[in-house]
Structure 1
Amino acid sequence: MQKFVIHIEETGESYTAADTRSVLEGMEALGKKGIPVGCRQGGCGVCKVQVLEGQFTRRVMSRAHVSAEEEAAGCVLSCRIYPRSDLRLNVVGAMKKNVCRPADAGAASLSPNP
């Protein structure tokens, strides 16, 4: 088993992922609340990312969610890729809102109404 560093461009966060776990599984380990994980089989499309740099093994994913053109531009479903080197990626689609949320998001003032 090898381990690689996955870097998320939008947040500047990095995490270590084993080559035996999907990029999505590693992302979940960051402890972000509300990461949509959907089917985990490449059929729902909620975990789309764009790999900017690095090598990975890709498993079958639905063309309804990742076209051949998108894939050529590095867009894949994070549940269906396994790192083979360090990766640098952007989060796109449904996951972006939760993965890229600031750490203190939702921590609004709770002062009572007068």
Structure 2
Amino acid sequence: MSTNVPTDPAASPAGRHQVVIAETGESFACASAETALNALSRSGRKGIPVGCRGGGCGVCKVQVLTGEFRTRPMSRCHVSEADEARREVLACCIYPESDVQLRVVGKMQKAIFRKP
């Protein structure tokens, strides 16, 4: 787990990756210095709940099915060590290091599965 991550997406221009939502097939670009939630919010999808953006509310819980990522601290109230071992994490706290595929498991499901 890394806690020293840049917050400016422009800080790593070469590190752009695709993030795919498994249930819908939607994909969007995400810089390695940007959280998956920020990239999803920027993608133009309406109604994406963003909560606290700091790992404390649990609204953006996802499971990373494929790909590599690094994390910043997340509330253990919402992501247990067992969750993290299953790669269930908060989208606001993960930084893709390769193309990743996500399955939405948290409260964000309602927004993702709503017809655009």
How would you bin the TM-score normalised by the shorter chain?
A: 0.7 to 0.9
Which residue does 1:110 correspond to in 2? none
Which residue does 2:82 correspond to in 1? 69
Which residue does 1:100 correspond to in 2? 113
SS in structure 1 of the partner of residue 40 of structure 2: helix
- Structure 2: gaps of 5 or more residues: 1-11
Q: TM-score, normalised by structure 2?
A: 0.85
Cα-to-partner distance string for 1:39-76 (whole Å, 9 max, x where unaligned): 11100000100000111110000000011111111100
Give the distance between the partners of 2:113 and 2:45, measured in 1 at CA: 9
Which residue identity is paired with 1:39? C
Give the distance between the partners of 2:33 and 2:64, measured in 1 at CA: 18
> 101, 109, 114: which one pairs with 1:88?
101
Please, what is the CA RMSD of the aligned residues? 0.8
Which residue identity is paired with 2:20? H
Report deviation, 1:31.
Answer: 1.5
SS in structure 2 of the partner of residue 97 of structure 1: helix
Larger Rg: 1
Give the distance between the partners of 1:37 and 1:101, measured in 2 at CA: 16
Give the distance between the partners of 1:75 and 1:57, measured in 2 at CA: 13
SS in structure 1 of the partner of residue 53 of structure 2: coil
Q: TM-score, normalised by structure 1?
A: 0.87
SS in structure 2 of the partner of residue 93 of structure 1: coil
Give the distance between the partners of 1:7 and 1:34, measured in 2 at CA: 18
Identity rate, percent:
52
Which residue identity is paired with 1:15? F
Give the distance between the partners of 1:35 and 1:7, measured in 2 at CA: 15
Report deviation, 1:92.
Answer: 1.2
Structure 1 runs of 4+ aligned residues shifted over 2 Å read none
SS in structure 2 of the partner of residue 98 of structure 1: helix
